[in-house]
Amino acid sequence: MSESKRRKPNTPTPDSGESPLLNESILLLIFESVKWDIRILSLTGSLNQKLRAIAERLLWRKLCAYRAPRMVNALANGAPNGRINGGWNALAKLMFFCCGCESTRNFQLNQRLSGHFVKSSRFSKTSGRSFLTKKCQGDLLYVSDPCEHPLVDKNDDVGIFRGVFRGFTRSRTRACLIRRQVGFEESVRCPYCGVRVWSMTTARLIPKSAARRLGTRDGGLEYFVCLNGHLYGNCWLVPLSSDEDRCDDEEDGDASGDSDDGLDDDSQTVKDGSTSSMGEEVCGDD
């Protein structure tokens, strides 16, 4: 057998012209050393087709598990090495990218708010329960705190939030949308994975608890859910007095079965360089 036939096809050799950076073990060591910096990973995945394939198959999953281990473990049903609806790169984008917003038929703005990278985001499945109707309470949904966007000509700020379902294809929410024969939104695509979306406002599947959780008036919000279970939306953030804020927190806690101290043991904060959750904080380099 000739020497060329004996070589393993995936083993880089001095004559192959293949970069050592295509070695997955080396890539893992590099990204561990930079604490899974999302910007560096995005740049790496755009260099060539082979690096993009490795990133989509392995690196994005590792980044998600590093930044939000508890949330990822829950979303992946305890099997973080498996696949996830929409892909791990879409989940990573959802963790760290506020998609902005523009006017829709149910939410009118006089200006477009651009998307942007955020340094940290707090996701909570307790918050997620506030976005589920009573018939859909068996679903698992993580939702972020709203990203606040002030407007020049209005007193109220716009809050932009995002979230993700576990196993959306088998969820009660999806079954309810299909049973009601809710149509997809025309010319609207998920900003995280690019697939079609349902308007939960149009579907009349927004519970009053969602407005209380966000600190907005009833009817002052809209959100969408895509085929892969990514949720995103916006609301008017109405300034509240301290008494009103405390009252809303108490009502929301009673409705969702939270403990009296208001702590959400299942929250997960994803940060630029670190991960933390209530009762647990692991700090990285800023």
Per-residue pLDDT reduced to its tens digit, 93-123:
999 999 999 888 888 888 889 999 988 889 9
CA–CA gap between residue 136 and residue 205 (Å, rounded): 10
CA–CA gap between residue 222 and residue 83 (Å, rounded): 29
CA–CA gap between residue 20 and residue 22 (Å, rounded): 5
Per-range mean pLDDT, top range of 46-50, 115-119, 134-138: 134-138
Confidence grade of residue 248 (pLDDT, cut at 50, 70, 90): very low
What was the pLDDT predicted at 2? Answer: 54
Residue 159 bridge partners (DSSP): 148, 235
Beta strand 197-199 with 221-226: parallel, antiparallel or unpaired? antiparallel
Does 275 have pLDDT greater than 90?
Answer: no
Does 28 have pLDDT greater than 70?
Answer: yes
Average pLDDT over residues 171-192: 95
Average pLDDT over residues 85-92: 92
Question: Is residue 91 within 8 Å of residue 164, measured between CB atoms?
Answer: yes
Question: What contacts 85, CB < 8 A, 6 or more positions away?
Answer: 165, 167, 168, 169, 228, 229
Question: Is residue 140 within 8 Å of residue 125, measured between CB atoms?
Answer: yes
Does 246 have pLDDT greater than 60?
Answer: no
Average pLDDT over residues 120-145: 93
Average pLDDT over residues 226-255: 67
Top pLDDT among 233 and 22 is at 233
Q: Is the dihedral of CA 4, 17, 45, 30 positive or negative?
A: positive
Q: How far apart are the first and last CA of the chain?
A: 54
What was the pLDDT predicted at 64? Answer: 92
Confidence (pTM): 0.78
Average pLDDT over residues 52-67: 91
Does 3 have pLDDT greater than 80?
Answer: no
Percent of the chain with pLDDT over 90: 45
CA–CA gap between residue 3 and residue 286 (Å, rounded): 49
Helix H, strand E, coil C: the string for 64-125 is HHHHCHHHHHHHCCCCCCCCCCCCHHHHHHHHHEECCECCECCECCCCCECCEECCEEEEEH
Beta strand 197-199 with 157-165: parallel, antiparallel or unpaired? unpaired
Confidence grade of residue 80 (pLDDT, cut at 50, 70, 90): low
What was the pLDDT predicted at 21? Answer: 61
Q: How far is CA 188 from CA 94, 102, 127, 157, 185, in A?
A: 17, 11, 25, 24, 6
- Determine the distance from the C-alpha atom of residue 23 to the mean position of all C-alpha atoms in its chain, rounded to a whole number: 29
Question: Is residue 13 within 8 Å of residue 21, measured between CB atoms?
Answer: no
What was the pLDDT predicted at 81? Answer: 66
Top pLDDT among 1 and 179 is at 179
Token pair of 262, please? 């208001």
- Average pLDDT value for the chain: 79
Does 166 have pLDDT greater than 90?
Answer: yes
